[in-house]
């Protein structure tokens, strides 16, 4: 058996500027950190040519006679695309499971794809760098599956940790952000995640943003440039240890982000956000493209009980987490290691 896992991430700022339609013209920048919530793959070889895949998240099963019988549209598009890309002709069983629900806004699709790329590269005895893992995962989703995605989730899952990730037409740069250990602990303690109970398809929102940039929609482009600038300010606040400024920059980020697409927020999300601010949060934002998933808030410890009560009364679920410094990892390589 081979077991792999890839972390999901929290995006602090810059989300959306990692879309090629934007960064190829204006450059993009995202600040994110991975957390200890993971997507897992469990692989076992078979003696025949059959491929059997089981998804715990979707409670679904797919069995095909051989590699050539794999096709898209049966609920296993990402694993199937990666398997086809690496040309795994032999039979095997694959079980997948995630610690967070799909469509949560925590970069789960990127984590799934990076995880599968790492697994398949191991099976093919190919040594890929973190950059190659991220780029292969991006290529499979964007070019093979034609999903309107950016690059931040793939790089976050491949590299892990707290990073400024910069995007341009020619390259992607991953710059680790170094902060004092006490500041990092305080940041971890003061960040709270709440599941809205609503998952969403990010593709519609991201497609709207990409089309708006292509059509030179001035208001959307202006908002995205401000979101990018906000990411650099967030990096600066973290490096300076100014967490109060960091919290208020999250509020700025949310207000800029809402101007990027009309589907990012709605009446329910606005109600939750305003309630959080009234109950101690300095700032916060939806962690992904928008429309649902997880809300992240920065709130000092002395008001966290108040904030939790207010949001749990609205049926939001608190998610306890820790930061994670590692990207995609092989936990068991089939040799008992």
pLDDT tens-digit map of 206-255: 666 666 666 667 888 999 999 999 999 999 999 999 999 999 999 999 99
| Percent helix, strand and coil across the chain, each to the nearest 5 | 45, 25, 30
Dihedral Cα 87, 91, 95, 98, nearest 10 deg: 0
pLDDT tens-digit map of 227-238: 999 999 999 999
End-to-end CA distance of the chain: give it in Å, rounded.
10
Active site residues: 153
pLDDT, residue 94, reads 97
Domains of the chain: which residue ranges? 2-177+327-333, 181-319
Q: What is the mean pLDDT of residues 50-67?
A: 93
Spatial contact of 3 and 329, defined as CB atoms under 8 Å apart: no
pLDDT, residue 208, reads 61
pLDDT tens-digit map of 129-165: 999 999 999 999 999 999 988 999 999 999 999 999 9
CA 21 to mean position of chain CA atoms: 19
CA contacts within 13 A on the Cβ side of 132:
6
Altogether, the residues listed in the chain come to a count of 337
pLDDT, residue 76, reads 94
Distance CA 150, CA 17 (A): 8
Would the CATH topology of 2-177+327-333 be identical to that of 181-319?
no
DSSP alpha helices (H): ranges in 61-159?
77-86, 108-123, 130-139, 152-159
pLDDT, residue 148, reads 87
Q: What would be the CATH architecture of the domain defined by 181-319? A: 2-Layer Sandwich (3.30)
**Residue 304's closest CA among 314, 315, 312?**
312
On the 0-12 / 13-18 / 19+ scale of CB atoms within 10 A, 271 is: exposed
Q: What would be the CATH architecture of the domain defined by 2-177+327-333? A: 2-Layer Sandwich (3.30)
Residue 337 — pLDDT band, cuts 50, 70, 90?
Answer: very low
Q: At residue 198, does pLDDT exceed 70? A: no
């Amino acid at each position: 058996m081979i077991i792999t896992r890839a972390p999901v991430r929290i995006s602090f700022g810059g989300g959306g500027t990692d879309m090629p339609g934007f960064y190829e013209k204006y450059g993009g920048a995202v600040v994110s950190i991975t957390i200890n919530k993971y997507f897992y793959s469990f692989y076992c070889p078979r003696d025949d040519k059959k491929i059997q895949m089981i998804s715990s998240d979707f409670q679904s099963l797919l069995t095909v006679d051989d590699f050539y019988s794999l096709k898209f549209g049966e609920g296993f598009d990402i694993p199937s695309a990666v398997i086809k890309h690496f040309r795994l002709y032999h039979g095997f069983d694959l079980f997948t499971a995630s610690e967070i629900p799909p469509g949560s806004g925590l970069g789960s699709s990127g984590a799934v794809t990076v995880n599968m790329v790492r697994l398949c590269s191991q099976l093919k005895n190919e040594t890929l760098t973190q950059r190659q893992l991220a780029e292969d995962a991006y290529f499979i989703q964007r070019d093979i599956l034609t999903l309107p995605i950016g690059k931040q989730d793939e790089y976050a899952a491949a590299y892990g940790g707290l990073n400024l990730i910069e995007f341009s037409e020619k390259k992607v740069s991953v710059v680790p952000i170094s902060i004092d250990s006490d500041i990092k602990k305080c940041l971890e303690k003061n960040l709270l995640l709440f599941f809205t109970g609503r998952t969403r398809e990010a593709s519609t929102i991201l497609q709207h943003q990409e089309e708006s940039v292509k059509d030179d929609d001035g208001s959307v482009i202006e908002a995205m440039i401000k979101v990018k600038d906000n990411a650099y300010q967030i990096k600066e606040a973290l490096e300076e240890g100014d967490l109060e400024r960091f919290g208020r920059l999250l509020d700025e980020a949310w207000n800029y982000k809402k101007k990027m697409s009309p589907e990012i927020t709605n009446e329910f999300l606005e109600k939750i956000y305003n309630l959080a601010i009234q109950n101690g949060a300095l700032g916060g934002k939806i962690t992904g493209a928008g429309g649902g998933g997880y809300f992240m808030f920065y709130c000092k410890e002395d008001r966290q009980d108040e904030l939790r009560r207010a949001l749990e009364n609205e049926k939001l679920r608190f998610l306890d987490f820790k930061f994670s410094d590692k990207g995609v990892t092989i936990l068991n390589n089939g040799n008992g290691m």
